[in-house]
Structure 1
Amino acid sequence: MKRQIIGRSKNEFKKKEKPWLIWNMISELNPNDLGLNKKVFNENINNGKAMFLGIVSKSLDVSKMYSFILNCIEIIYLNLKEELATSNEKERFEKIEMKLNNILFKTNKLGIKIDVKKVKQHIQEINIQLYEIKNKLQLEFGIFSLHDYNNIQKRLIKDFKWFADIKVNTKEFWEAISLQKNNSEFIELLYLERKLTKDKTILSRIGSLDIEYVFPTIDYFGTITGRILVNSPSLQQLNKKYRDIIIPEKKMQLVYIDYSQFEAGILAFEANESKLIEMYNNDDIYTQISNKLGNESVTRDLAKKLFFCYCYGMSKENILKYSGKNLNLFFDEFSNLEIYEEKILKDFLEDGFVETTLGNRRYKSLRNVENIKEGWLISQKIQGKASLILKEVILDLYNKDKEIEFLLPMHDAVLYQVPKDKTKELTEKIENSFKNVLQKYCPTLKPKITNKAFFEVK
């Protein structure tokens, strides 16, 4: 609730200073409201942290600490409820987020079944691949670690001078690496090492448990756009070729339903761009981008990646710089898109925030004292609406049929498990929910969904 009301990215705060962290909220309370002076209040906070971390001395009155923490939480809760009552976030929080959170807690409690043998098998496969990649980086390019930032940047600048303007190991840096991975062997090796290392980290955390279930933490408001994030382990981030570690319960079947061209369709609707809506309804937007930019050099997958970069806030100028592909060759055909972008910017400069359907307001950055354009404006509108739609699908199906068991939210998709003997009828019910919710929020679209394998079949 606190994070949603604040409406700011976690990147605006230092790791330990995020205002929605419980200890920070407790520290901000008025000691007088708890009948304490400042010194005793601070001592209680330190003792409460120690108890939470399991560092309890014999002299510590544990029951007193529990009483103190619960009193603090009650005051925080009541203050936030009062703040929420007059906030634009009230409807979304009560209708969507609060109810969804209960479903996510249930999933966390029940756990997700894992094939431990496959986990260990995939770790071995990745170790072999990483060994080969690291050897090549060392012997052919003189790079001994992904943390060797100076040498990595020097090597990149040789072929792409604009890498000098990007700070290494930032989000922008890795987006540029992803866009260029097919144009340079060195860049492809950097990309693969990072990707495989991430997969290995996720799998190793699961494998070290050596148990048949994992109990991921699922954060219903994991990003500022309202996207759900899965942590500990980060199953959402796992490469599709390793997802076969997730298996259904006995007599159950996995069902994985995905929105096709999700962000593209939402952008077409939000901008009220009739040509783009028609393209979504009757064709494939990513294929059309590919054709326009030259499908010999721009595959559909690359076209999709370029479009995602735009939707996530990268400027078309930077997309051109990092990929060499001019998105204006495609976007210039849609006059309403420019009008839409200008309106979002105008509203942002006047109001100091951008909001989506049912709130989900994001305020201008704290450092933006000059009230200038920020790169995330389109992203907040499109991703915010996408997160709302996917959440309502999860809620809708949970309320309609308890035999449809929610397992995992992915980017634009959801993984369920259903009884094997009812797979066909329940899959159809899931598909209908996906279609109905999208049409509710984007009525001019003809929903495109796919029922596909959750993992890559080898």
Structure 2
Amino acid sequence: MTRYVLLFIENKWHSLNLDQPENFQEDHQFGNDGILITFQTPELLRHLKKIKRVRIIPKIVDLEGFEKQMGQEGKDLKSFKNWTMLAALKYHNIANHDFKLSSSTIRDFLGYMAVLYEYLLQKDNDEAKRFEDLEQKINHIIYRRQFLGVPINFSIAESVCTQLEKDIYRTKNILQLKYRIFNPDNEEWQKQYLLKKGYKLIKSTLFTFKSWRNEDDICLLVYEMIRNQKDLDSLLFMQSHWGSKANAYPKYLGFGTITSRITMREPSFQNLRKSNRKVVVADPFHKLLYIDYSQFEAGILASLSGDKRLIELYNTDIYEDLAKFVFNDGTKRSDAKVIFYRYMYGDTTLGSKELQYFKRFTGLQSFKEKIDLEMKNNLKVGTINANYRYRGEEDVSWGLSHVIQATASLIYKKALIRVFVELDRVKFLIPMHDGTVYQIANMWYDELKPKIERIYIEEFKRACPKIKGRVNIKDTFE
């Protein structure tokens, strides 16, 4: 199968035949075959949608996700934080640091992209096999949906935007008038505030504000402001950019994080607050089905660590037990879940009571020590199916988190593929971290619902045989 490296510039798709580098086209002629390698996947899918002779989406390799997988480096090892193709080429010493893309260097740029692809493909045999067996299949599923779009009720979206604008304005007023904070949406101010308060940055500024929102009124207000602004940005984007009167066309990235989580951008449906998810609707004569794993990461941690006490708690509710221990209130489950994630991320600012809770699990402590030792000896850690992450020279705290979240991604992706292959009447719409939004024709809904549930539970059991995984299913994304 012919492989082409593609670049959209100067209103044309330029291509280089990777197997015959002398074959350079300034205006690529698309067909139904070939492997297309690009970092401009959304633009490519839009273009393919316009071409009537292209009836089947060809194999597409998104170089951003591919570089993330094969490079196996988190942001802590990168010299560039915001991924761009040119930055990646310079980072891997393929393009000179003074190289600039222009009309006269298009062919050189395509050649550099080809070199990067070949270099990454040969870097790690385990990752290359994973890409072929798993990630390429996931890419096919998500690019089909990116091509077709996600059904949206734009009337509801407009109404939600109006309310979000009011909420953001109200929150900023409180921060300015009561706390004399006049630039709360400035990222540098946010980081400095957290640093000043002694709150360790865990995962992201948003997650850190969320972690401290119950103890700090300013953290609560900033958290609400950021969440609402992100939702507003997503909803405005889906209304103002390429789409239709009934669909939005987000960008899916199959290997969107170092743990291989599928991410969606512009708009980010995954991060919409539950109250704002009502903008997502089913096509006529269809119903939505939302399935997600119950206590996903906690269950994986229980099974992989083999901690008998943790396994027993999974059968009831680990987060509720944690809430009772820390807060003396089992209803504070969502707050307990944040503590659980902070523990996984290696947060050293956890209180004594929180740490006391986790020390009760001797099997868990041994498992964590084993991962830390593996990181020290091998300088990397991964799953039963590759998806490694390298560490630098400095001490790291994310080893346990990477193993658990990367395993979660593996389980989830295998379930996605099985549903796609075995149940062709089930239409994939939106991937979440631990769940999926599907749509199903009304006439098939009741028949297919238990089959989806069975597949998700079986894939959980395959990777985590020491627990009996559970799922939640609803007929609404809200």
TM-score class, shorter? 0.7 to 0.9
Q: Which secondary structure does the structure 2 equivalent of 1:83 belong to? A: coil
1:182 to 192, 210, 214: 214
1:131 to 152, 169, 179: 169
2:234 to 190, 202, 212: 202
Report 1:313-328 matches (<5 A).
313-315=345-347, 317-320=348-351, 326-328=353-355
Could you say which residue in structure 1 is the equivalent of 2:370?
343
Q: Distance in 2 between matches of 1:262 and 1:216?
A: 26
Inter-CA distance 14–425: structure 2 relative to 1 (3 Å threshold): same
Could you say which residue in structure 1 is the equivalent of 2:141?
103
Inter-CA distance 343–200: structure 2 relative to 1 (3 Å threshold): same
Q: Distance in 1 between matches of 2:342 and 2:334?
A: 12
1:329 and 2:356 aligned: yes
Could you say which residue in structure 2 is the equivalent of 1:56?
none
1:128-174 deviation digits (Å, cap 9, x = unpaired)? 112222222222111222146898799x79xxxx844458x985654
Give 1 or 2: higher strand fraction: 2
Report 1:291-310 matches (<5 A).
291-296=324-329, 299-310=332-343
Contact 1:255 1:418 (8 Å CA) reproduced: yes
Q: Which amino acid aligns with 2:246?
A: E
CA RMSD of aligned residues (A): 3.0
Shift of 1:10: 3.1
1:34-62 deviation digits (Å, cap 9, x = unpaired)? xxxx9xx98xx74xx345xxxxxxxx6xx
1:389 and 2:422 aligned: no
Inter-CA distance 272–296: structure 2 relative to 1 (3 Å threshold): closer
Report 1:36-435 matches (<5 A).
46=100, 49-50=101-102, 65=106, 71-84=111-124, 87-147=125-185, 163-166=196-199, 171=203, 173-209=205-241, 211-280=245-314, 282-296=315-329, 299-311=332-344, 313-315=345-347, 317-320=348-351, 326-365=353-392, 368=393, 372-435=394-457
Contact 2:72 2:390 (8 Å CA) reproduced: yes
Q: Distance in 1 between matches of 2:94 and 2:171?
A: 56
Give 1 or 2: higher helix fraction: 1
Could you say which residue in structure 1 is the equivalent of 2:11?
none
Q: Distance in 2 between matches of 1:455 and 1:231?
A: 18
Q: Which secondary structure does the structure 1 equivalent of 2:261 belong to? A: coil
Q: Distance in 1 between matches of 2:152 and 2:165?
A: 20
Relative to the length of structure 1, the TM-score reads 0.81
Inter-CA distance 340–373: structure 2 relative to 1 (3 Å threshold): farther
Contact 2:287 2:475 (8 Å CA) reproduced: no
Q: Distance in 1 between matches of 2:151 and 2:289?
A: 15
1:427-455 deviation digits (Å, cap 9, x = unpaired)? 11111110010011111111110013544
Inter-CA distance 286–403: structure 2 relative to 1 (3 Å threshold): same
1:25 to 89, 110, 113: 89
Shift of 1:228: 0.8
Inter-CA distance 204–144: structure 2 relative to 1 (3 Å threshold): same
Q: Of the two structures, which has the highest relative contact order with CA contacts closer than 8 Å and spacing of 6 or more?
A: 1
Q: Distance in 2 between matches of 1:70 and 1:358?
A: 31
Contact 1:277 1:445 (8 Å CA) reproduced: yes
Inter-CA distance 83–296: structure 2 relative to 1 (3 Å threshold): closer
1:6 to 62, 65, 71: 71
Shift of 1:76: 3.9
Inter-CA distance 95–333: structure 2 relative to 1 (3 Å threshold): same
Identify which range, 234-243 or 1-10, moves more after superposition.
Answer: 1-10
Could you say which residue in structure 2 is the equivalent of 1:54?
none
Q: Distance in 1 between matches of 2:145 and 2:152?
A: 14
Q: Which amino acid aligns with 2:387?
A: N
Percent identity reads 28
Gaps of 5+ in 1: 32-37, 52-59
Relative to the length of structure 2, the TM-score reads 0.78
Inter-CA distance 145–98: structure 2 relative to 1 (3 Å threshold): same
Q: Distance in 1 between matches of 2:150 and 2:185?
A: 34
Shift of 1:230: 0.6
Q: Which amino acid aligns with 2:126?
A: N
Q: Which secondary structure does the structure 1 equivalent of 2:436 belong to? A: strand
Q: Distance in 2 between matches of 1:150 and 1:28?
A: 29
Inter-CA distance 415–77: structure 2 relative to 1 (3 Å threshold): same
Contact 1:290 1:299 (8 Å CA) reproduced: yes
Contact 2:300 2:408 (8 Å CA) reproduced: yes
Identify which range, 429-438 or 145-154, moves more after superposition.
Answer: 145-154
